[in-house]
């Protein structure tokens, strides 16, 4: 490693150590804001919490059901379509041949 560059980097770090953001204005009233957030979180019912946590699972189930239903319906409709058209063709053939 280039020693000159290493020295430069070390000097930058040394100069940067005291360069901290003034936190005083943000610290003002911090406990009050924090406690309000904690209380709001605590007051949320455990059921609501559980429901929120289960939302991704519910969403996955809905998507899976949708996909399954769509795939199933497509499969069924193809079969049904084949059956109906097959049956229609047969009946058409029968009616044509028998004259009924």
Partner 1 sequence: MSAQTDDPTDERLIQDALTGDDEAFTALVRRHKGKVFGIASRYARNDHDLDDLAQEVFIRAYRKLDKFRGDAPFEHWLSRIAVRSCYDFLRKTRPEKQNVSLDSMNMTLTDIAADKPVSTHEVREILDFALNHLSAKDRLVITLLELEEKSVREVAELTGWGEANVKVRAFRARKALEKVLRIYHEP
* Side-chain half-sphere exposure of 31, counting CA atoms within 13 A: 0
The site for partner 1, by CB under 8 A, has a size of 30
Does position 44 bind partner 1 by CB under 8 A? no
Tokens of 55: 């939302």
Task: Using the rule CB under 8 A, give the single segment among 37-45, 47-55, 57-65, 91-99 that binds partner 1.
Answer: 37-45
Start-to-end CA distance of the chain, whole Å, equals 98
Part in contact with partner 1 (CB under 8 A); list of ranges 14-22, 44-52, 58-66, 88-96: 14-22
Dihedral sign of CA atoms 17, 18, 22, 23 in order: positive
**What would you report as the CA-atom Rg of the chain, rounded to the nearest whole angstrom?**
36
- 3-state SS assignment for residue 92: helix
Region of 30-38, 49-57, 61-69, 88-96 interacting with partner 1 (CB under 8 A) = 30-38
**Shortest Cβ 6–partner 1 spacing (Å):** 8
Chain residues binding partner 1 by CB under 8 A are 1-2, 5-9, 11-13, 15-21, 23, 25-27, 30-31, 33-35, 37-39, 41
């Amino acid at each position: 490693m280039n020693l000159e560059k290493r020295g430069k980097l070390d000097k930058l770090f040394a100069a940067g150590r005291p360069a901290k953001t003034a936190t005083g204005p943000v610290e003002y009233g911090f406990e009050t804001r924090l406690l309000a957030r904690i209380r709001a979180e605590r007051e949320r019912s455990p059921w609501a919490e559980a429901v929120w946590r289960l939302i991704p699972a519910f969403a996955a189930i809905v998507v899976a059901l949708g996909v399954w239903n769509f795939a199933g319906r497509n499969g069924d409709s193809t079969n049904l379509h084949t059956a109906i058209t097959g049956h229609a063709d047969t009946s058409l053939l029968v009616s044509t041949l028998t004259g009924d």
